[in-house]
Chain A
Amino acid sequence: MSTPHYQPEDRVPLPPKNAEVLTTCCDYCIVACGYKVYRWPANAKPGGPKKSQNALNRDFVLPGSTSIPGRSGNWVSPTQVTQAAYKGKLYNIAVVPDGDSKVVNVGGDASIRGGCIAQKVYNPKSPTQDRLKYPMVRVHDTLMPVTWDFALDIMADVSRHVLKNHGENAWGLKYFSYQYYENTFALTKLAFRNIGTPAVAHHDHPAIVNSVPGWVDIGYDIFPAAYEDFSLADTIFLSGTDPYEAKTIVWNEWILKGIQKNKTKVIMVNPRRTAGVAHIEKNGGLWIDITPGTDQALHNAIARVILEKGWEDKEFIKRFVNNKWETDSGFGQGTRNTPWQWRTTWGKIGVVNGIEAYKKWNLGEKSADPKVAAKICGIDVKKIYKAAELMAKPKRGKRRKLTIGIEKGNYWSNNWGNTASVGVLGIICGAGGKPGSAVTRLGGHQRGGRGGGPYPGIRSPYKFPGRRRHRLDLDRWVEAGHLRFAYVVGTTWMQAMAGSAAMQDSFKRQVKLNPNQVKSFDKKEIIETLKKRVDSGGMVVVNQDIYLIDPVGSQYADIILPAATWGEDSFTRENGERRIRLYSKFYDAPGDAKPDWKIVSMFAKKMGFDGYDWKDSNDVFEEACRFSRGHRSDFNAIKVAARKAGMKAHDFLAKRGTQGYQAPLLWVDGKIMETPRQHWYDRNKNKKFAIPETGPEGPTVIKKNIMAFKSQTGKLNLMKTPWNFYWNQYHDYLKPRDGELWVTAGRINEIWQSGFDDTERRAYIQQRWPMNFIEIHPADAKKRGIESGDMVTVTNDRVAIQKDFNLGVKGDDMYFNGLKKRGHLKFESGEFSAVAIVTPAIKKGVTFTNFLDKKQAFNSIAPRVPDPMTMNYNYKIAMGKVKKIGESPFKKSFSQMSFIRRDIA
């Protein structure tokens, strides 16, 4: 059987001493490791092995070592070399982790994903050759290249027609919320400030909502930690992720250091026993193998044990928990018709009288009884007691420094309940706001979103019971046939959303089955046809991306716009510890592809909008700077510093290489001052970061977040998290029956997201993961006659889909049982195929698959019933029947896929 051309080389060209060196960061996960790009002409003599002969500044043969800036790293793997055109000439390019780095990927460490990123570069000799290069229009159901003006004229005319005749709500944007400040600023400026539509959603939500609403209520920011905190903690509680798998360098360079140097004890809450779990178990840690969707009970019970033993951090609670008057005060949170107010003052979940009131509630809550919780979670009750001990039992009279890190396994399997209850655990243990102790998300994508205008909430037709407005749920809006124009930028949309099979059906209905299809290349006729489609209840789709994505681009887009990406323009973005760096342009974009901000400006001008005269990405960045003021990402000081130095902001930032600056940035004594961590209440005791007594200077904004918590008072709010509030209704429905198994999904270390760069175009990864997989326990596999390497189907014939938005009147109208009763749910089937991996490293009764395989989409079986309080999908919790259909070709292959267990210690 032939393999996808993975050719292990036995030598690599070293960059010569005079190679140009630029800095950038990885385009993939939240950690954003720093890389150096070496660029030298294709016909130049390569460098030699002596330090004086190569631009890496290393003597070959390199010894193996890690984490020594200047000494480790800088080995060039053959995967890290490619060729690309720059200013029309051919160059050799090496993208190598920065071996001199003292931050993030210290000493040039890298994950497998970023380590291979040189293969992302457009090189027509490689599988990247099918990059989108020219705008295209669909005529006779065939996408054909046209000019930019042709494509954008159609887009503008149809848009104007939609806005005039169907209103702003009929014009929608679905976009990647993370793909560099320059691009997201341009897109949101267009959508919010000029068009004024509420029909906008990010790549990972059906509406623009908070991922971690429980923490919004409590007062914890989502990215407050310094990576250093992971190496200083006494105990780390990780829920819903194994950083080894998907934020690898946080594990490699920070958590591992804590374990090795600090004897950090790590608790991992995860139904999978991953490589990280195997390692922490060997080092005094604890694996809590819960059934999906039951974290809330686990957290309630751990809190009970801690309170009963008197291990709560009384000092912290006294200092930082809101009392009765503080709970009820202030704008933004508290009374006056805010989301927080309706959630808390209905009595069910708000805690108004501090820790005593919380204690009273917890002692009366059934799910907080460790025996009950153990049963709900399907775990050994001893683990609850052990967790409480590791988190809160004083160590030789001193409080343990506890860091809590969560990700989607937690907050997308009971979005409000899991996040609120784990946040409460943080309060009880005194976590957050000091070195070694943070309550934080680990992150998924990097943080590259900058709003260019305010969300027009008043235009959303959705509301909660009572008077509160809700953000527009774009998936439901499309399903209900209300979207006439869809601008889809950098996302698959369908495979990325829950209930993806049903989502596809709506696209088919609105776009393909509408009788008005383009059959002429005459621009006027095309516009008339698309207008008729829109007027007859159909939808026009414009898809902007770097590759042609199936089906949103290849099947449904009327117009395709080719985008330039990482390395093809200079961009900025922050990582999970708020570190902003410049991602340098280092090669030419393919064909006539343009950066997203540029496409937006061209379209905006055709629409007659002002304020889009940007000449380069630096212009966009400099305009976005002031919009960042006061936010977690505040990078405005960079522009101030650049102006002072007489430089462009991008150029000023480039001087900081892969180190960048940690936001929010302050301006003190005429210089930039960084913020290593948020909520740092003893910040002023550290001279390097002390805020002057005279207060903030110039452009600096000091929000409470910087030295206190993120609430109206700067103190934290306790919450009640009863199991029987509304989550249990949904969980009862989801519980596997009739031979079903839990099916949960997540990232896998070797693949980034939908695999557009790796499982689709990187032979080294394609050989590892030629097809989607599903991990299944041996007992469950045996019952179904399944062996490793067998091809299976996973079917869910009761995928619950919320059809439309119901106007909530009575309190429980919007919970699962209420929705069902009032006819707002339909039940459909979804399925995907996969290769089975039989492994004891998954909880019995639970299976695990890749969350975003484009061709074999897990989301087709993920129920689409948004959390009624928060509007988030609970993606990570589905059920299905797993059936063998035969053997895959990989079962007996020696060169593709591996079935060895991932949890060897």
Chain B
Amino acid sequence: MENSKNDDRCISRRAFLIGSGAAVATTVLLNNIPGLEGKAIAAEVTTYPKKKIGRLSKLKANKPLTFKYPDDGKNSQSILVKLGTPAGGGIGRKKDVVAFNTLCTHMGGPMGRFYQSADKALGPCPFHQSTFDLTRHGMIVTGHATQSLPQVLLEVEGDDIYAVGLIGLIYGRYDNLKG
């Protein structure tokens, strides 16, 4: 984890608490993730894979890179982008590097090509014009999604950027890691 002042409080994103198996998943609070400010996220038994998706030095502001996460299966299309302004969950010196799944959480419209550099948004979705705020954890700006755009958790090791988890359920899946 990058730039952590209190490493003993920093929980590795690769080790999550066991879910209870009840209808509603138990949650764990991750205090020290920059920008998340105490937001709780769901936990899973199995770990999310750690996947290298890019290099900080190669990232240019407002030039997104596409990748797939957490696997190569359906609906795994994702986008890595250096926004140029600080963002929730952002890594890098300026805390401006974020990544998100690019399927609209309304009805699965493909938004990969719709990064708005002036507004730091993804959208409007070609299906029904939903738009998401990439500086605020994929919050809906205006639109029809019942869930924020799933955010890919990022870690940096040296110059390498790793995708290490997901906050939010990918459209079309019932379990991010099962399909």
Q: Which residues of A contact B (CB under 8 A)?
A: 1-3, 5-14, 42, 46, 49, 60-66, 72-73, 75-81, 83, 92, 108-112, 115-116, 125, 244-245, 248, 251-252, 256, 275-276, 278-279, 749-750, 764, 767-768, 893-898, 900-902, 904-905
Which residues of B are found within 8 Å of A767, using beta-carbon distances? 139
What are the 10 tightest A-B residue pairs by CB atom distance, in nearest-first order? A64-B108, A894-B88, A8-B168, A62-B172, A11-B175, A115-B146, A61-B74, A898-B133, A79-B146, A902-B142
Q: Do the beta carbons of A42 and B39 come within 8 Å of each other?
A: no
Q: Do the beta carbons of B169 and A12 come within 8 Å of each other?
A: yes
Which residues of B are found within 8 Å of A252, using beta-carbon distances? 128, 144
Mask: chain B, 127-139; 1 = CB below 8 Å from A; 0 = not: 1110101011101
Point out which of B35, B89, B173 has the most chain A C-beta atoms below 10 A from its C-beta: B173
Q: Do the beta carbons of A65 and B144 come within 8 Å of each other?
A: no
Closest to A78 in B: B169
CA distance A244 to B143 in the complex (A): 8
| Contacting residue for A900 out of B119, B147, B175, CB 8 A | B119
Closest to A107 in B: B107
CA distance A14 to B44 in the complex (A): 17
Task: Decide if B69 is an interface residue (CB 8 Å cutoff).
Answer: no
| Contacting residue for B150 out of A8, A49, A80, CB 8 A | A8
| Contacting residue for A65 out of B24, B108, B148, CB 8 A | B108
Which residues of A are found within 8 Å of B156, using beta-carbon distances? none
Which residues of B are found within 8 Å of A115, using beta-carbon distances? 106, 144-146
CA distance A77 to B148 in the complex (A): 10
Q: A79-B146, A904-B124 are in contact. Are A275 and B35 (CB under 8 A)?
A: no
| Contacting residue for A61 out of B73, B107, B146, CB 8 A | B73
Q: A65-B108, A73-B107 are in contact. Are A895 and B42 (CB under 8 A)?
A: no
CA distance A27 to B174 in the complex (A): 26
Q: Do the beta carbons of A76 and B133 come within 8 Å of each other?
A: no
Task: Decide if B80 is an interface residue (CB 8 Å cutoff).
Answer: no
In the assembled complex, how far is the CB of residue B70 from the closest CB belonging to chain A, in whole angstroms? 10
| Contacting residue for B75 out of A5, A61, A893, CB 8 A | A61
Task: Decide if B141 is an interface residue (CB 8 Å cutoff).
Answer: yes
| Contacting residue for A10 out of B129, B136, B175, CB 8 A | B175
Closest to B34 in A: A894
Q: Do the beta carbons of A3 and B169 come within 8 Å of each other?
A: no
Which residues of A are found within 8 Å of B108, using beta-carbon distances? 62-65, 75
Point out which of B40, B109, B127 has the most chain A C-beta atoms below 10 A from its C-beta: B127
Task: Decide if B81 is an interface residue (CB 8 Å cutoff).
Answer: no
Q: Do the beta carbons of A112 and B145 come within 8 Å of each other?
A: yes
Known: A11-B42, A898-B139. 18 other contacts (CB 8 A): A3-B39, A8-B169, A14-B174, A62-B171, A64-B75, A83-B24, A108-B107, A110-B106, A110-B144, A112-B144, A112-B145, A252-B128, A256-B128, A279-B124, A749-B144, A894-B137, A897-B136, A904-B124
Which residues of A are found within 8 Å of B49, using beta-carbon distances? none
Q: Do the beta carbons of A11 and B25 come within 8 Å of each other?
A: yes
- Which residues of chain B from 146 to 178 have any CB-CB distance to chain A below 8 Å in the complex? 146-148, 150-151, 166-169, 171-178
A contact patch SS: loop
CA distance A12 to B89 in the complex (A): 23
| Contacting residue for A2 out of B37, B107, B147, CB 8 A | B37
Which residues of A are found within 8 Å of B139, using beta-carbon distances? 767-768, 895, 898
- Which residues of chain B from 5 to 45 have any CB-CB distance to chain A below 8 Å in the complex? 23-25, 27, 35-42, 44
Q: Do the beta carbons of A749 and B142 come within 8 Å of each other?
A: yes
Q: Do the beta carbons of B173 and A83 come within 8 Å of each other?
A: no
Closest to A62 in B: B172
Q: Do the beta carbons of B174 and A895 come within 8 Å of each other?
A: no
Q: Do the beta carbons of B131 and A902 come within 8 Å of each other?
A: yes
Task: Decide if B105 is an interface residue (CB 8 Å cutoff).
Answer: yes
Which residues of B are found within 8 Å of A42, using beta-carbon distances? 23
Task: Decide if B84 is an interface residue (CB 8 Å cutoff).
Answer: no
In the assembled complex, how far is the CB of residue A298 from the closest CB belonging to chain B, in whole angstroms? 26
Task: Decide if B120 is an interface residue (CB 8 Å cutoff).
Answer: yes
Which residues of A are found within 8 Å of B150, using beta-carbon distances? 8, 10
| Contacting residue for A64 out of B38, B109, B144, B169, CB 8 A | B109
Closest to B166 in A: A10
| Contacting residue for B147 out of A72, A79, A275, CB 8 A | A79
In the assembled complex, how far is the CB of residue B175 from the closest CB belonging to chain A, in whole angstroms? 4
Chain B: how many interface residues by the 8 Å CB criterion? 67
Task: Decide if B140 is an interface residue (CB 8 Å cutoff).
Answer: yes
Which residues of A are found within 8 Å of B104, using beta-carbon distances? 64
B contact patch SS: loop
Closest to A115 in B: B146
CA distance A275 to B88 in the complex (A): 25
Q: Do the beta carbons of B172 and A61 come within 8 Å of each other?
A: yes
Q: A244-B129, A279-B124 are in contact. Are A10 and B144 (CB under 8 A)?
A: no
Which residues of A are found within 8 Å of B137, using beta-carbon distances? 894-895
| Contacting residue for A11 out of B116, B143, B167, B174, CB 8 A | B174
Which residues of B are found within 8 Å of A6, using beta-carbon distances? 39, 148
Q: Do the beta carbons of B74 and A63 come within 8 Å of each other?
A: yes
CA distance A72 to B109 in the complex (A): 11
Which residues of B are found within 8 Å of A904, using beta-carbon distances? 116, 119, 121, 123-124, 131
CA distance A116 to B131 in the complex (A): 17
CA distance A62 to B105 in the complex (A): 12
Q: Do the beta carbons of B169 and A7 come within 8 Å of each other?
A: no
CA distance A252 to B88 in the complex (A): 30
Q: Do the beta carbons of B174 and A764 come within 8 Å of each other?
A: no
Task: Decide if B97 is an interface residue (CB 8 Å cutoff).
Answer: no
Q: Do the beta carbons of A8 and B144 come within 8 Å of each other?
A: no
- 12 A-B pairs with CB atoms under 8 Å apart are A8-B148, A12-B169, A13-B23, A61-B75, A63-B108, A64-B103, A115-B106, A279-B124, A894-B135, A894-B136, A895-B35, A901-B119
Task: Decide if B91 is an interface residue (CB 8 Å cutoff).
Answer: no
CA distance A893 to B133 in the complex (A): 13
| Contacting residue for B146 out of A49, A62, A80, CB 8 A | A80
Q: Do the beta carbons of A9 and B168 come within 8 Å of each other?
A: yes
Task: Decide if B110 is an interface residue (CB 8 Å cutoff).
Answer: yes
In the assembled complex, how far is the CB of residue A613 from the closest CB belonging to chain B, in whole angstroms? 41
Which residues of B are found within 8 Å of A5, using beta-carbon distances? 40
Which residues of B are found within 8 Å of A63, using beta-carbon distances? 74-75, 108, 172
CA distance A767 to B40 in the complex (A): 13
Q: A83-B23, A116-B146 are in contact. Are A61 and B173 (CB under 8 A)?
A: yes
CA distance A46 to B136 in the complex (A): 33
Closest to A118 in B: B146
CA distance A66 to B129 in the complex (A): 13
Task: Decide if B87 is an interface residue (CB 8 Å cutoff).
Answer: yes
Which residues of A are found within 8 Å of B42, using beta-carbon distances? 7-11
In the assembled complex, how far is the CB of residue B75 from the closest CB belonging to chain A, in whole angstroms? 6
Q: Do the beta carbons of A60 and B172 come within 8 Å of each other?
A: yes
Q: Do the beta carbons of B120 and A900 come within 8 Å of each other?
A: yes
Point out which of A108, A895, A905 has the most chain B C-beta atoms below 10 A from its C-beta: A895
Which residues of A are found within 8 Å of B168, using beta-carbon distances? 8-10
CA distance A248 to B127 in the complex (A): 13
Q: Do the beta carbons of B23 and A92 come within 8 Å of each other?
A: yes
